[in-house]
Amino acid sequence: MTTLMDKLRAYLRSPQGKQTIEKAKRMANDPQNQAKARRFLNRLRPRRH
């Protein structure tokens, strides 16, 4: 039986998976997206008083 991780690895090795990886890398390098991610992570972190 194929595990979820095996399916994921197969997808990431496919042309469509490689395209998805490149798109994610481009989005991660965008300063606006980095700021959005920082704001989101700051909301998840517990605040110290």
DSSP 29: T
Nearest to 12 by CA among 4, 20, 23: 20
Q: Are 20 and 26 in contact (CB under 8 A)?
A: no
In this prediction the pTM is 0.65
Q: Quick one: pLDDT at residue 23?
A: 97
DSSP 47: P
Model confidence over 2-39: pLDDT tens digits?
A: 899 999 999 999 999 999 999 999 999 999 999 999 99
Q: How far apart are CA 48 and CA 20, in angstroms?
A: 37
Q: Quick one: pLDDT at residue 1?
A: 74
Rg (CA), the chain: 16
